[in-house]
Amino acid sequence: MKKFTKLKSIPAYLPILNIDTDMIIPKQFLKTIKRTGLGKNLFFEMRYDDSGKKINDFVLNQDPFNKSQILIAGKNFGCGSSREHAPWALLDFGITCVISSSYADIFYNNCFKNGILPITISDAEIIEIAEYAKRKEEISINLLDQKILFGNKEIKFEIDQFKKKCLLEGLDDIALSLEKSDKIISFEDKLKTSKPWIFND
Helices assigned H by DSSP within 76-180: 85-93, 105-113, 123-134, 161-169, 173-178
CATH 3.20.19.10 for domain 6-170, yes or no, is yes
Helices assigned H by DSSP within 16-56: 21-24, 44-47
pLDDT tens-place string over residues 124-150:
999 999 999 999 999 999 999 999 999
Q: Please determine, for residue 174, whether its predicted confidence score (pLDDT) is greater than 80.
A: no
What's the whole-model pTM score? 0.88
Position 32 confidence tier, pLDDT thresholds 50, 70, 90: confident
Question: For the chain, which residues make up each domain, given as ranges?
Answer: 6-170, 173-201
Of the candidate ranges 30-39, 80-89, 90-99, 192-201, the one whose mean pLDDT is the lowest: 192-201
Count Cβ atoms below 10 Å from residue 17 Cβ, excluding itself.
Answer: 13
Position 123 confidence tier, pLDDT thresholds 50, 70, 90: very high
pLDDT tens-place string over residues 35-77:
889 999 999 999 999 999 999 999 999 999 999 999 999 999 9
Element (H, E) at 187: helix 181-194
Q: Which of 2, 16, 24, 169 is nearest to 93 (CA)?
A: 24
Q: Please determine, for residue 82, whether its predicted confidence score (pLDDT) is greater than 70.
A: yes
